[in-house]
């Protein structure tokens, strides 16, 4: 087996494993965040959580598949490790970027939801006269 095929196999195993691990971690630990963001509606939070995991898998495994053929071809062990670290590094950056984007979107949703359920502002009790 040549170095290119070995690089591809290692890349696929590492990238898919990392994607599955991150998705499971986000699914398990993100539930409380989503329940809070959706004001205690657990059914909605669980549904959104599941849909996010499916989208996460589709986006990341799709990228991993597309990026398989791009990059330098390995002719020796050193080039294999360099190509592998570059490819896996890009996958990790994309996983992290998607994670922070999701957190940003849901925190915005949570803030908007809290603003709509907040009590109305209190009218002023007194006025300060303006001295000219």
18 belongs to a structural domain: yes
Predicted local confidence at residue 113, as pLDDT? 67
Overall average pLDDT of the 51-57 stretch: 89
40 belongs to a structural domain: yes
What is d(CA 90, CA 11) in angstroms, rounded to the nearest whole number?
A: 11
What is d(CA 15, CA 95) in angstroms, rounded to the nearest whole number?
A: 10
Predicted local confidence at residue 119, as pLDDT? 76
Domain holding 53, by residue range, is: 3-117
What is d(CA 116, CA 97) in angstroms, rounded to the nearest whole number?
A: 29
Percent of the residues in the chain that have a pLDDT greater than 70, as a whole number: 96
pLDDT band for position 13 (cuts 50, 70, 90): very high
130 belongs to a structural domain: no
Q: What is the Cα Rg of the chain in Å?
A: 23
78 belongs to a structural domain: yes
- Cα 100 versus chain centre, distance: 6
Write down the mean pLDDT value for the chain: 84
Predicted local confidence at residue 8, as pLDDT? 86
77 belongs to a structural domain: yes
100 belongs to a structural domain: yes
pTM of the complete model beyond 0.75: no
Which 8-state DSSP code applies to residue 67? T
Q: Tell me: the pLDDT tens digits for 58-117? A: 988 998 888 888 877 778 888 888 888 888 898 889 888 888 887 787 778 777 767 766
125 belongs to a structural domain: no
Q: Are 43 and 31 in contact (CB under 8 A)?
A: no
Based on the structure, what is the number of domains in the chain? 1
112 belongs to a structural domain: yes
- Cα 42 versus chain centre, distance: 21
pLDDT band for position 17 (cuts 50, 70, 90): very high
Neighbours of 13 (CB within 10 A): 10
């Amino acid at each position: 087996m040549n170095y290119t095929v070995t690089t591809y196999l290692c890349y696929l195993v590492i990238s898919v494993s990392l994607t599955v691990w991150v998705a499971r971690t986000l699914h398990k630990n993100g539930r409380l965040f989503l329940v809070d963001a959706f004001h205690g509606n657990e059914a909605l939070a669980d549904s959104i959580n599941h849909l996010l995991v499916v989208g996460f898998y589709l986006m990341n495994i799709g990228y991993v598949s597309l990026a398989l053929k791009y990059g330098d071809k390995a002719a020796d062990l050193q080039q294999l490790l360099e190509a592998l670290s570059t490819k896996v590094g890009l996958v990790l950056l994309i996983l992290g970027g998607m994670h922070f984007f999701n957190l940003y979107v849901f925190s915005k949703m949570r803030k908007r939801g809290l603003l709509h359920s907040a009590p109305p502002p209190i009218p002023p009790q007194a006025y300060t006269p303006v001295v000219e």
